[in-house]
Amino acid sequence: DSGVTQTPKHLITATGQRVTLRCSPRSGDLSVYWYQQSLDQGLQFLIQYYNGEERAKGNILERFSAQQFPDLHSELNLSSLELGDSALYFCASSVRGDNTEAFFGQGTRLTVV
């Protein structure tokens, strides 16, 4: 157990809908990262937050947004869902913002039908 908690574990939704994925980082970790894992794109960095502020942005679609709350948990919002958004979404956390060691959650498997 990495100490990073992601909910829900599985999510099935229809095209055009909006979902929210939640991540609770390890106790004491200030930085949260979101990654998408799909068969065609592999593991792609989406976005990083550090102590509530956006730190780095990757290939995140405009339909996706994220935030980190004062208690340091993070949410990833995916809207206007398309079939191609079906993937495993991972959250990771680290103490610092430079990712010298990041711990990954078990992921949320999103299926868009």
Partner 1 sequence: AQSVTQLDSQVPVFEEAPVELRCNYSSSVSVYLFWYVQYPNQGLQLLLKYLSGSTLVKGINGFEAEFNKSQTSFHLRKPSVHISDTAEYFCAVAFYNQGGKLIFGQGTELSVKP
Residues near partner 1 (CB under 8 A), total:
29
Contact with partner 1 (CB under 8 A): which of 81, 92, 110, 112?
92
- Stretch binding partner 1 (CB under 8 A), from 20-28, 66-74, 77-85, 103-111: 103-111
C-alpha span between 93 and 91 (Å, rounded): 7
1: CB partners within 8 A, 6+ apart:
none
Contact with partner 1 (CB under 8 A): which of 2, 13, 67, 79?
2
5-44 footprint of partner 1 as x/- string (CB under 8 A)? --------------------------x-x-x------xxx
CB 23 within 8 A of CB 47: no
Residue 59, classified by CB atoms within 10 Å of its CB into exposed (0-12), middle (13-18) or buried (19+), is exposed
64: CB partners within 8 A, 6+ apart:
46, 76, 77, 78, 79
Binding site for partner 1 (CB under 8 A): 2, 4, 31, 33, 35, 42-45, 48, 50, 55-56, 58, 90, 92, 94, 96-107
